[in-house]
Amino acid sequence: MKYIDEFRDKGLARRLAETIAAEAHPGRDYRLMEFCGGHTHAIFRYGVQHLMPPNLRFIHGPGCPVCVLPMARIDHAIALATQHDVTLCTYGDLMRVPASERKSLLKAKAEGADIRMIYSTRDVLRIARENPDRQVVFFAIGFETTTPPTAVAVKSARAEGLTNFSVFCNHVLTPSALQTILSSAGPDGVQLDGILGPSHVSTLIGSRPYRFVPEQFGVPVVIAGFEPLDVMQSALMLVRQLNEGRCEVENQYTRAVSEEGNRKAQALIEEVFRIRPEFEWRGLGFLPNSALALADAYADLDAEERFPVEIAPAKEIKGCECPAILRGVKTPTECKLFGNPCTPDNPMGSCMVSSEGACAAYWSYGRFRAASAASRQPPARG
């Protein structure tokens, strides 16, 4: 790749759209789930859906780690900061995610809790070094992509003897969520014909972990890059697989993704973390083997073990459809709260807060086009 503009070329986009329209069989539907929130925003920002034939539509998946984090984990983080008077550090997109009773990390900070926004794990380590008399907790979150930086921070803290550093771990694993969605597909769930595999996650885990999708569920996968032409080419590859009766894992994002993935990063994750028996995902429930916790060798740096808390059962905001949107069962405009009162300035759910959330994409790029897009979509078929 020389320039990003090469992947946003209007002429190439037009030719790709014409090819997809020519090859898409008019007698069938092509329901493609883009798992990654980055794909969702690319689709809306560049109007990719409007370049597709009426019988090809994109279905938004749970590919946003902030969105799938259950409300109870936000409640837990707030309790860490308030019940134990620790310095809680996390990334900016978590600060405004609604918790129970319309609380948030940002509101807890305004009420006096020591909660700080950071840009990288290096910031957390620096804060721990500069405040040796304060306990500093890193609210770690993300799919496989952001897990290695957390592992590096854990190993660095151990090497430096930072006894005032610990991790509240919320890293989750993509394949488990994908398996859950496909297991619930059918008349009562989302109906899918193909999967656009995530970009950044796949650079780390590689293409091999997706083999179970075609083997167990008969659904083809194409790992797609983030740019609009990446998404369009990936859609064409899925159309061709479906037309030809093929069902396999293909890699469109060859400039960044290999079959094996990043072996060094994988080894680091295996050293520092262990797989949790189960973990709650917003919209998907408790999934087995779907998240990470610190390995026994680093258990002394586990904030959940170091700082036990008491929290009440979490309650979803009445009327918020984030759980159904994350499963691909509903679109943001089918939520009664969307646009009024739920906006980025007044979010009712995590899907409107995160920069990768589907509701944020609809609001930022598609709110005035949603009605016309809906009118172009064919009725769902069994």
Instruction: Print pLDDT tens along the chain (382 aa).
Output: 556 777 888 999 999 999 999 999 999 999 999 988 899 999 999 999 999 999 999 999 988 889 999 999 999 999 999 999 999 999 998 999 999 988 999 999 999 999 999 999 999 999 999 999 999 999 999 999 999 999 999 999 999 999 999 999 999 999 999 999 999 876 667 889 999 999 999 999 999 999 999 999 999 999 999 999 999 999 999 999 999 999 999 999 999 999 999 999 999 999 999 999 999 999 899 999 999 999 999 999 999 999 999 999 888 889 999 999 998 899 999 999 999 999 988 999 999 998 789 999 999 886 544 443 444 454 444 4
Q: Phi-psi region for residue 27, left (φ > 0), alpha (ψ -120 to 50) or beta?
A: alpha
Q: Give φ, ψ of 195 to 5 degrees.
A: -125, 130
Please report, to the nearest 10 degrees, the dihedral formed by the alpha carbons of residues 74, 76, 82, 87 taken in order.
Answer: -70
Please report, to the nearest 10 degrees, the dihedral formed by the alpha carbons of residues 193, 368, 321, 61 taken in order.
Answer: 30
Q: Could you tell me the pTM of the whole model?
A: 0.90
Chain centroid to Cα 21, Å, comes to 29
**Which residues, including other chains, have CB under 8 Å from residue 29's CB and lie 6 or more apart?**
55, 56, 57, 193, 378, 380, 381
**Which residues, including other chains, have CB under 8 Å from residue 201's CB and lie 6 or more apart?**
36, 143, 144, 145, 174
Q: Is 224 helix (H, G, I), strand (E, B) or coil?
A: coil
CA nearest neighbour of 178 among 219, 218, 213, 215: 213
